[in-house]
Structure 1
Amino acid sequence: MREREAVRPGRVQHVDVLRGFALFGILLVNAQLMAGPYTAFGGGPHAWGVDRAAARVVTATTTLYQLFSFLFGYSFVLQERSARESGSPSAPHHLRRTAGLFGLGLVHAVLLYPGDILMTYAALGLILYGLRGLSPRAALRVAVCLVAGLAVLLLGYGLLTVAFTEPVTPAQYAPEAARVVAAYRGGFLSVVGAHLRELPTALGANLMYTPDMLAAFLAGLAAAKAGLVERRGRDRRWLRGVVVRWLPVGLAGGVVTACCANGPLDSRWFLVGHAVSLLTAPALTASYACGLLLLLSAVRPAAARVLAASGRMALTHYLTQSLVLALVFTGYGFGLYDRVGTAVVLAGCVMLYGAQLALGVWLMGRVRYAPAELVLRTVTLGRSPGSSPRRSPCPGSGPAPAADEPLRVP
């Protein structure tokens, strides 16, 4: 028997809408990294101009990983609030939740995509739990310090790189790229071996940007404690003001980042561009979020329900994206690694995202939890979500049932 579930009062639909929207930005970035060694940079030395232009546009305009991190912090507060109201034990649930998230991320990294973010989110989730008592103002101050400190370090190291090193040419990178291409076009063991070799580098890159992720977590925590989305999500004047003030700043920073990462500046400028992105990406992310809510409330209110459905199963969609991309580009399936231009890859992302939106509406109209969300919630509760919690033999001394609030994870 099919179970049709309406969005319950405990959920904040705008949060689900924004998460569903952020899935598209995550897909655009990850698809380029999974499609070939040069795809994210617009292709190799003989790539078409349209591919280079497509890569520059994505680099300049896609900062939605920050929105995911922000929503992680926002949802953390909603989960804590729900657990507190129901009398559920917060610490054991959070520990099991992060352990489950780490486990899913490890499987994801080894089998599908070594650039997994779930393991990093799980580790940072423990830190966020320790900082949960911060006031909104204190959380924002810590977030600003984290971002500013990382930006200064990247800028300083980047400028030293520009001053004292030579740029890496395509010819220098070609032998390593050829080995990577051969590995990803091979069989199952070859692909998994490539993932395992790349995993330490990917984890190191995530570690370098953990201050930025934690800052976004804390910004989300501060916003949730202030009820920002609930209070301002339908305030068209306020939403419009954010877009008008901050979109130019964010786009200007994105253009600088694209010039450093995708040319005309050479590879030595990469870290300089990312330092600029750290400082301006929050403006661009906020503009996108407010612009989307403004657009949906004024023009396409029905589209909000479509995005919200995908937002409710964001973890399943995130893992499914990697599965589909692995089947397309690696030896698991079609083996198209380094055989498709950036523009074609991005066009495929549009098709995949559209299919996911349709799947989200269909699936969330029939089940309470999508597959990955069901697994994570079962681990968190220590039982099936549909079963009754075990009670203490002493009347009145056992833990209260867990809150019936779906987990909100990226």
Structure 2
Amino acid sequence: MRTQETHPATPGTQLAAARIASVDALRGFALLGILVVNIAFLASGYRMAGMAEPAFQSTLDWGVRSAVTMLVENKFYLLFSFLFGYSFTLQVDSSVRRGLPFVPMFLRRLAGLLLLGLAHAVLLFPGDILTTYAAVGLALLIFRRISPRTAVALAVVLTSLLALGFVLLALLATVGLDTAGTVADTSTQAAQSDTALVASVWQIVSEHLRKLSLIILLRVFFQGPAVLAACLIGLAVGKLGALRDISPHIGTLRKLQWAGFTVGLGGAFVSTLAAWHGTMHKFWGEAVDLVTAPLLAAAYAATFLRLLPYLPRLARTLAAPGRMALSNYLAQSLICALIFTGYGLALVDRVSPLLEVLIAIGVFAVQVVYSRWWLRNHRYGPVEWLLRYLTYWRRPSRAPL
């Protein structure tokens, strides 16, 4: 059965199609930012331990590293999480229109995400976020009937509590309590991680499992609530229908740009100094980043949505990888594993930060071409097709839209 959004005839459905294209393009944009961040963590055991790679200490290396931290890190996964919450509202609406029971379908979808995420974390990248989405999806299911105002208020409370949590860690560190070792490696362990990542398949998997055991507390108590907060903002925007037509909301988008490119960018500068240059304790920087990164991410989204109608070619270019973002996200980890680990070329800690960024852009360019080719003959990406099969418990159509 085709939903209203796939009918080409009426002006209302044309508007819906445009909305979906803009959301897909924004998702593609977020996917590029996520790859630029993740590739550094896939390329070095030191980065997974929160340290700079010892082999790359030039001014250029530090400039690229700092620029990625300030402008990209912790911003684009928030955009992706926002879109996860927004898409949740579309799935609810679709199930109502089609007269299908939403809760069992969505639970099957979350189970599929959990399985994919666990396989991804163990085999390719312990920094996987799909397992977090599977857990956060349960919370969205519980909160699906709350009002947009309540959703935004809850997101603000979660973010504030997280920031206070990092302030507490900073205060504990100030009085001499070692808190960093609970969630990160030492430099010796990072070097051992590099050795494991270029070894056999079993050693690679064992190292991934070790890292997962280190970061699980960080995921449960910090990343999970941050993702949920962004999802709740997406839920509120979806309930308000604000992305169906952005023209009535230009004033709000301008305010987000002003806030993001002033307060958000200022906070990103402070947190980058804390992360890399030792001018203040790292936990203080994390607290600042938690509060200000959502503002900068919102400014990126607002700018993107305002520019998109004037850049139709860019919209089409980014919409294709955005439509099959799950397949591309997993493929990014696979490609990087083949480049950096013992699965392939074993170039761990042998690639500079600048070259990492260039590789990320190259990989994404290939994904744009591949996604456009794939979608000419298929309605869904390969992993999206599998997840849809699990969600609806029947074989989806492969015909292109």
TM-score with structure 2 setting the length: 0.89
Gap change, CA 1:305 and 1:17, over 3 Å in 2: same
Bigger fraction of residues in helix? 2
AA matched with 1:197: R
Summarize the Cα distance change of 1:384–1:246 in structure 2 as closer, same or farther, 3 Å threshold. same
Corresponding residue of 2:25: 17
C-alpha separation in 2, matches of 1:181 and 1:92 = 42
Equivalent of 1:309 in 315, 320, 328? 320
Post-superposition shift, 1:356?
A: 1.3
Q: Percent identity?
A: 40
The answer for the alignment partner of 1:112 in structure 2 is: 124
Compared CA separation, residues 245 and 178, structure 1 to 2 (3 A): closer
Q: Aligned letter for 2:115?
A: G
Tell me which amino acid in the other structure corresponds to 1:327. Answer: L
Match of 2:88 in 1: 76
Question: Which deviates the most, 35-44 or 20-29?
Answer: 35-44
Residue 172 (structure 2) pairs with residue 160 (structure 1): yes
**How far off its partner does 1:46 sit?**
6.0
Residue 45 of structure 1 deviates from its aligned partner by 7.2
Match of 1:34 among 14, 29, 42: 42
**Unpaired segments ≥5 residues, structure 1:** 388-403
* Aligned pairs for 1:192-207 within 5 A: 192-207=205-220
Partner of 1:189: 202
Describe the shift of the 1:79–1:166 C-alpha distance in structure 2 as closer, same or farther (beyond 3 A): closer
C-alpha change, 1:23 and 1:233, in structure 2 (3 Å) is: farther
**Within-5 A mapping of 1:211-230:** 211-230=225-244
- The Cα offsets for residues 314-369 of structure 1, whole Å up to 9 and x where unpaired, read as 00010000000000010000000111121211111111111112222222222101
Q: Gaps spanning 5+ residues in structure 2: where?
A: none
- The residue identity in structure 2 corresponding to 1:72 is F
Counterpart residue number, 1:334:
345
- Change in 2 beyond 3 A, CA 1:166/1:53: farther
Is the alpha carbon distance of 1:31 and 1:351 closer, same or farther for their aligned partners in structure 2, counting shifts above 3 Å?
same
- Aligned residues, how many? 381
**Cα separation, 1, equivalents of 2:102 and 2:187:** 51
Instruction: Write out aligned runs for 1:160-309 (5 A).
Output: 160-164=172-176, 173-209=186-222, 210-232=224-246, 238-265=252-279, 269-298=281-310, 300-309=311-320
Counterpart code for 1:144: V
Secondary structure at the residue paired with 1:229? Answer: coil
For residues 132 and 7 of structure 2, the distance between their equivalents in structure 1, rounded to whole angstroms, comes to: 29
Q: Tell me the residue number matched to 2:69.
A: 59
Q: What corresponds to 2:393 in structure 1?
A: 382
Q: Matched residue of 1:38: which SS?
A: helix
Q: TM-score, normalised by structure 1?
A: 0.87
Residue identity opposite 2:234 in structure 1: G
Q: 1:233 to 1:68 in 2, by over 3 A?
A: farther
1:361 equivalenced with 2:372 (yes/no): yes
CA-to-partner distance for each residue in 1:362-406, whole Å, 9 max, x for gaps?
A: 22222101111011001111121139xxxxxxxxxxxxxxxx9x9
Is the CA contact 1:43–1:342 (under 8 Å) kept in the aligned structure 2?
A: no
1:130 aligns with 2:142: yes
Deviates more, 1:86-95 or 1:270-279: 270-279
In structure 2, the partner of 1:390 is none
Question: Whose RCO is larger (CA < 8 A, sep 6+)?
Answer: 1
What is the CA distance between 1:248 and its match in structure 2? 1.3
Give the secondary structure class of the aligned counterpart of 1:295: helix
Letter in 2 for 1:17: A
- Deviations 1:129-171 (Å, cap 9, x if unpaired)? 01101000111111111110111111121133134258989xx
Q: Does the CA contact (< 8 Å) of 1:43 and 1:52 recur in 2?
A: no
Q: Could you say if the C-alpha distance between residues 317 and 363 of structure 1 is closer, same or farther in structure 2, counting changes exceeding 3 Å?
A: same
Distance, in Å, in 2 between the alignment partners of 1:244 and 1:123 is: 33
